[in-house]
Structure 1
Amino acid sequence: MLNDIRFSILAWCFPIILCAQTKQLEKYPDPKVSFTLTTNRDTLMQGECTTVSLDLNVYHDNRAPVRFYDLPQQLFDLQTSGLAVSHCFQVDSRLQEVVGERKSIAGDSAMIYCIYRASYCPFKPQDVHFPALKLKLLQPKLGSPTIYGPSDTLTFKSDPVTINVNPLPAVATSLKSGEFNIVGDFSIDERLSENPKAGELVNYYVTLRGKGLLFPLTPPQLVVDGAVVRLRDIKDHNALRRGQLETDRIFTYALTFQQAGTYDLTDKININYFNPTTGKVGTLRSSKKIVVAKADAANKPKVVMPARDKTKFIAVDVSTSMSLEDYKPSRLVVVKSGLAKFLLRPNVCDLGMIVFAAKAWHLFPPDSEPCNNGKVLTDIDFIKGASGTAMGDAIWLAQNSFVPDSTQQKILVMIGDGDNTGGVMTPQLAAQMARRANIKIFTIGIGKQGAVPYGKDATGKVMLIENTFFDGDLKHIAQTTGGKYYHAKDAQHLSTILTEIFK
């Protein structure tokens, strides 16, 4: 939501003076500044990625003092309008600070301040259009280099940009993993958590990595004769390096082998992808051979409840805005209190827990108590400085983690305080896919409108921030999937809502 961006950016953006005044000017000249949107590639194949940058360029001979004007709000508006592309996966670089870099633009020396960078990966053969975008800067009042007012704003505009997206060749059209093509250059790595023994659980990690986006890849179905196999966890790591998207997708399988012996996993996993550089189809294949020792009768076999055994999930927003104090003592504490009341009921093994901020991940109870979700409450805490609320990614993670081929109704409950402002997958697309996968999503909003407290300053005075509570995405997700939207008033009300949903 809006405040996630404000908290993460305000501290480092607003104080930056792009050109310090060295002497009193009788009249400020026009700033020699430009605002540009650039891409490292303007022609792509469907499924490929390009890096998009928003830069403020301050030329070396600029003499007009200017500074950012409410950059968090401006970035929020840009991300939800001109920078939003419905047919693209979008991987933000999560800039933590604006640092100028000296470069040459058409022969002129300039300091380049990157204020936003993301990788766009279109999953449809449809061109990507960015309209002309606007950025406001502040200029001080004449005669005072430190006094600014709203009337002193200057508006700069970027040129519109179009990225041409071509369809994949015929050889690649049958390579979809679920609903999406996997395009790039990738490799596979396999490892075990430990040397396995018969009857004991061991984790088998399958890591796919390379250049391109692996996020939309659905988990491979792993079947091993003589072993019980469950998908335990899914993790993603994305980064922009040298202007190119590099990605890891890690699938963790829990394996329990029934007898000692050698188990050959060669070709048990086969993942096809299209390499646009070579123009050929590649295949990632498992090749691990696992030697299983005899069981140790002296030790009790370990038991871990895999995430794939779940038919119900609760996903909790832990972004920075959940620390706001319009609910006492904070939004997240109220959510945890409501969850604690709800989870006091008898242990439920088919309920999994997910948390999300800039991305989404699983929480697991201790191995010794695999059905006690109350034990994970201490692990639910807001992520300081976590910019973004990845609601779509949380839905996608849950969809990939439900028990497969179950005839039971799959239910996801999402608890959050505002609209989606981050992640790779939009909540609209994730909700549509969840509906097709027979997943019903119930959403619970927590938050109030108006000025809300946010900690105290050095003198002990309570700080206030103007907060607008948005629940549009939450309502849309529930409506799309046949669920229901609720607004929780307090911890007890939240517990009552959860009890109603899971009755």
Structure 2
Amino acid sequence: MYRLEYPWLLALLPLPLLVYWLLPPYKEEQDSLRLTFFHYISSSLGLTPEPGAVVPKTNWLQKIVAPICWCLILLALARPQLIEPPIQKIEPGRDLMLALDISQSMETPDFRTPEGKRLRRVDAVKQVVSEFIRKRKTDRIGLIVFGQAAYPVTPFTLDHDACLKILGQTDAGMAGPQTMIGDAIGLAIKQFDHSEAKQRVLVLLTDGNDTGSRMPPRKAAEIARQNGITIHVVGLGDPHATGEYKVDYAALNDIAKATGGQVFHGENRVELEKAYATLDKITPQNFKTLSYQPRRELFMIPLAAAVVLLVGYHLLMLIVSLLARLFSRRRESDETETSAVLKVNV
């Protein structure tokens, strides 16, 4: 679509005609010769000049080029623009951090596929979390894995393909055999330090209980709440197990409640999928669409056309003038030669 930034300038198109009709002719004084019979000459030529007037000569080409150049210059001043199709940019309204437990216990093959095949916990989690990430197209997602220590895997990003690729390369036991839940929450809080999103959500998945974090999980949850972070916790595995392999739902519930989050049970593949489906509902995608229409300036086209016309006209007049002088000199030369021949013959 084409538009003019200053269309009101086109109202000046008839200005030259108004000047021609309303203003008096331009006058200038020049040295001249007084002729007593000047009026005879002017009348014979059909001219009626005023005293002191200069009557410039014009030609038909000048009368065509001048109005065209005036229109082109006014069009350039009006700033014609090409409005290109709108470009939409999605601005995320939420930063979502996923903290995944990949301790040694995640090797336990107590999950089953729909076909009945046994599946390790870590493989089931990767499948469900991958599907969850694919649905969150407008959220910036970050990834933390933890075991004996917590490690940042990806920062907050909209490049979800990179998250999925790195998630696929993680495996149980890579972060050590133990489960440091408090340290994982502490690392997540640091990752949110540079976040400007209005909503900050941490989804924590674990199949055990904290085994000696430097920062107690409850204390870490309170700090997260002070930083505006909501923690949702997904417990994985058998809650009736013993020792460090037992899922401490009481502690996980304290973590979630401290930040206004929820706790979900994922004892099997079906429950795990339900947990992430519920998370998808209670954290609806939050984003703002920004629309921008690029504008391409086109004023240089009519301006260049006016310059080309003016330069072309003056070059043409220069060539005509030079040719006229050349023909005039040849004529004078021919007349001189003819006169000389006549004299010799006489």
- TM (norm. structure 2) is 0.47
Greater helix proportion: 2
Greater strand proportion: 1
Compare relative contact order (CA 8 Å, sep 6+) and give the higher one, 1 or 2. Answer: 2
- TM (norm. structure 1) is 0.33
